[in-house]
Amino acid sequence: MSAHEHVAELARRARVAARDLALATRATKDAALQAMADALDEAAHDVLAANADDVRRAEAAGVEAGLVDRLSLDPERVSAMADGLRDLARLPDPVGEVVRGSTLANGLELRQVRVPFGVVGMIYEGRPNVTVDAAGICLKSGNAALLRGSRSAAASNAALVEVLRRAIASAGLPADCIQLVPADSRETVKELMRARGLVDVLVPRGGAGLIRSVVEESTVPVIETGVGNCHVYVDAGADLEMALAIVLNAKTQRTSVCNAAESLLVHAEIADAFLPRVVPALAAAGVVIHGDQHFLSYDGVEPATDDDFGREYLSSDISAAVVPDLAAAIDHIRRFSTGHTEAIVTGDQAAARRFVAEVDAAAVLVNASTRFTDGGEFGFGAEIGISTQKLHARGPMGLPEMTSTKYVVTGDGHVR
């Protein structure tokens, strides 16, 4: 069977499953999530054995240590995945929520109700926990999932999906609510992107290259996630102690994530006071500063290029510049922002208001670390990713963002 036929066949089976899943009650879906969690706990040994194969293959292929770590599972990580499914079962069901409703002048009753998309395709890299997260979130939101993970995690993903499918079937829902798309060739990704009419939405999660290629090539509607060249701007009116804490937290609390800070902008008025504090503090935390001429007068700072200001390092690096004023900071952010998260540190109310109004990003933070742009931190309970597009969902996506709506209009013979 060609990749085309294979993916089309999986998608057709997903559509059939999606019909049943869309009508499933919350009780049925939650029971399935509990069954999935229990099955995962019970099958931990098999999952870890499959994962050990993936890890061995990756090590033999000379994959770098960080990637191997992201690929690796241990009993705690498997247990955490199962607990994630149990958490999902406790969240409200987005399906059926009445978003708005009214009775029109002519007596027609209008309701806008949340419904599942239908079939959701996930294209992702590395970590096998995304397989379980995505399966759980899609199931709870009533969507059949086509999961296309990375080739490096193929054995782990196959073992996980096998366990999840059996549990779903045991709970009385179609096993085809969750299907794994083979990762043996790039063709299966291309076929998912062309499956318009069979797949309702694609959500790519991974590096900038993956996301760009999906956004540009897909004829299936896409929700773009994740690339974050996040700035922290320290305004003239900032409390420097607070600014230092926020910069350090945003850059160093976890460097490999999309809401980590990648660029520091400092108002010229406070540069002489702040740079002597922030430069050594970042250096002490192991951060390499790629700075403009103002920063270069400090020890250990590397010269920055425009390429640096446009980069999402995802490492212990930060670009840094001094800007003449708030307007210049906003212009710099407009030029280099990926529209993910931008933060200002200031005690000046007018500056905060202007920054919030003029910076165009999924999240704009005032006196808080960029690391807060996160579904868990926002209280959504689950997160499928962080959207950096403006259509449909922007920012952390929880369960409601994985649904569409339908207008239900009820009359008693109304005509125009």
- Where do contacts with a copy of itself occur on this chain (CB under 8 A)? 19, 22-23, 102, 104-105, 108, 110, 112, 115, 117-118, 196, 200-201, 215-216, 219, 221, 223, 239, 242, 245-246, 248-250, 253, 352, 356-358, 360-369, 371-373, 377-379, 389-392, 394-396, 404-416
**Separation in Å, CA 99 to CA 49, 405, 408:** 45, 8, 11
Closer of 209 and 303 to a copy of itself (Cβ): 209
Closer of 147 and 261 to a copy of itself (Cβ): 261
User: In the block, which residue shows the tokens 């963002």?
Assistant: 401
Least CB distance from residue 302 to a copy of itself, whole Å? 26
**Separation in Å, CA 9 to CA 163, 201, 223, 309:** 21, 17, 23, 45
Least CB distance from residue 292 to a copy of itself, whole Å? 25
Closer of 15 and 294 to a copy of itself (Cβ): 15
Least CB distance from residue 124 to a copy of itself, whole Å? 19
Least CB distance from residue 337 to a copy of itself, whole Å? 12
Least CB distance from residue 298 to a copy of itself, whole Å? 23
**Separation in Å, CA 208 to CA 29, 96, 269:** 34, 35, 35
Q: Which residues have C-beta within 8 Å of that of residue 125, sequence separation ≥ 6?
A: 149, 150, 205, 206, 207, 210
Closer of 51 and 380 to a copy of itself (Cβ): 380
Least CB distance from residue 180 to a copy of itself, whole Å? 24
Angle, helices 129-140/26-42, rounded to nearest 10 degrees: 160
Angle, helices 154-170/129-140, rounded to nearest 10 degrees: 30
Closer of 149 and 385 to a copy of itself (Cβ): 385
Least CB distance from residue 333 to a copy of itself, whole Å? 13
Closer of 110 and 210 to a copy of itself (Cβ): 110
CB atoms within 10 A of CB 96: 13
**Separation in Å, CA 20 to CA 23, 88, 138, 170, 177:** 5, 20, 14, 15, 9
Least CB distance from residue 110 to a copy of itself, whole Å? 6
Least CB distance from residue 59 to a copy of itself, whole Å? 32
Closer of 171 and 330 to a copy of itself (Cβ): 330
Closer of 22 and 270 to a copy of itself (Cβ): 22
Closer of 152 and 403 to a copy of itself (Cβ): 403
> What is the DSSP pairing of strand 109-116 with strand 98-103?
antiparallel
In the DSSP assignment, the letter for residue 371 is: G
Going along 53-170, which residue ranges are E strands? Answer: 98-103, 109-116, 119-124, 144-148
Q: Contact 188/3 with Cβ under 8 angstroms?
A: yes
**How long, in residues, is the chain?**
416
CB atoms within 10 A of CB 232: 28
